[in-house]
Amino acid sequence: MIHALFKSEQERSTRNPMVAAGSFEDRYGHYDPNTPRPSQVETAYRGTFYKVTNMRARALSDAMRKMRVQRRIDRDRFEPVEVDHPWQLLLENPNPYFSPLYIYRWISLARDTYRAAYFIVERNERRVPVALHPVFPEFGDMRPLPKGDGTVGGYVFQRRYDGEMIRYAVEDIWVFKLPTPKTPYESTSLIEALGLQLDQNLYMDLYGRDYLKEARFPPVVLETEEDMTSEDQVDFFVEQFASKFLGVGNDKKRVAFLGSGIKARHLNVNPEEVMLPEVKKMVMSEIYQVGDVHEGLVSPDATRANAEAAWRMWHLSFVQPEAEHIASDWTQNAQRSWRMLTNDGQALGRLMVTVPNLVPVDPEQEARVRRQYIETGQRKPSEYRQQDGMSPLAEVDQVFMNQTIAPLSVIESGVDGAPRQPQAEEDSQG
């Protein structure tokens, strides 16, 4: 099943044209989304977009590395599963040929560029899933086969080099994607969401490259009142001038001596007008915004405090929710793949892939909270020492209370229970 997707290089030496997309519907009647082609992704996957997608991938792969499989005990209580539980083993090492971080990172990149990340399940002799093999778009397209009730009844893979179609059961394909309001089978990639901005960014980069490469505006203009009608004569003079006085390595020949009647004049071209810096800056800002990457994370002018605040906000607004979405997809995929092996749906329903709190702690806020808990007697200082990996101290293993506050009954009656006398009377008594 796995090897059917990949042929030897000898077999792939002659690439046949792809079968038309309409043949999918003719043969299987399934939904046919026009996913971004590898060539389109290759064009867009550079510059600012490359930075944004890889920042997202690094953060989410680190989050997935911290995911754990837990078993629900009751409504609000969970316990970790056994270390050799098949769900946990698959989560910790999804593929024998790629590292876990590679797979985690690929999930994020595939979602951002190709709409979804597809995996083919490999099973052992007992039909237990033991590996997940990524479906790289370079090898072909994986498409859902929708049923009339709105669910997916299976998948079909069209191999790119010969157009052959291979069908898979729904429990043999894992998919990680973002929903779209259009259909239950489609997703939207980050490339599509940034289509206009990526085009603008590409055109400006190409213009700047061509300007620097081809020198569209010559740096020096030669003027003469002589009638140079011969094109060969003009070309010869220009080549001689350029070889002597222009270009890299001619530092010793910067003083030009021209013939009679010929003047050299520099063109003052404003680079800011050529490179359109404001438009470039605006486009880059939109790429960061749509990509949910706080610009404070990449700004060269950001202070340490601002960068740390942006890092926390980014994890709160993007990393944590997206990691929880991926954990939910992992849970659903695993339940679907294991459902065919057991009739105990209740037991499967108690298993869940979870992700811990990923939002970095604000040190100043944490210090204020700790102080408040200690001064109000809600925590012992020794508890925080243990959290920080420090050895406990007997002298702080007790509850402390700030003396500046006291119950109203104590203030009215005194500490010993006797009525408190007025201040004037207390002073007269010495």
Which residues are registered as beta bridge partners of 79?
71
**Helix H or strand E segment including 47:** helix 47-65
In angstroms, the CA 189 to CA 392 distance is 51
Domain with CATH 3.30.1120 in the chain: 218-268
pLDDT score, position 367? 76
Residue pair 375/381 in contact (Cβ under 8 Å)? The answer is no
Whether the pLDDT of residue 40 is over 70: the answer is yes
Give 32's pLDDT tier (boundaries 50, 70, 90): very low
- SS3 category, 389: coil
- SS3 category, 287: helix
Residue pair 5/157 in contact (Cβ under 8 Å)? The answer is yes
CATH code of the region 218-268: 3.30.1120
248: number of Cβ within 10 Å? 5
In angstroms, the CA 46 to CA 274 distance is 22
In angstroms, the CA 267 to CA 286 distance is 34
Nearest to 245 by CA among 220, 267, 280: 220
What residues contact residue 290 under an 8 Å CB cut-off, 6+ apart? Answer: 190, 193, 194, 197
pLDDT score, position 62? 95
315: number of Cβ within 10 Å? 19
Residue pair 191/36 in contact (Cβ under 8 Å)? The answer is yes
What average pLDDT does this structure show over 366-371? 74
- SS3 category, 126: coil
Q: Tokens for 102, please give them.
A: 């590679």
pLDDT score, position 20? 35
What average pLDDT does this structure show over 291-307? 81
pLDDT score, position 198? 84
In angstroms, the CA 87 to CA 384 distance is 34
pLDDT tens-digit map of 315-332: 999 999 999 999 999 999
Residue pair 323/353 in contact (Cβ under 8 Å)? The answer is no
133: number of Cβ within 10 Å? 22
Q: Tokens for 330, please give them.
A: 């992992």
pLDDT score, position 209? 72
Look at the pTM and tell me if it is higher than 0.75: no
pLDDT score, position 261? 62
Whether the pLDDT of residue 251 is over 70: the answer is no
90: number of Cβ within 10 Å? 22
Q: Residue for token digits 């190409």?
A: 206
Say which residue, 287 or 242, is predicted with more confidence. 287
**What does the chain come to in residues?**
430
Say which residue, 277 or 237, is predicted with more confidence. 277
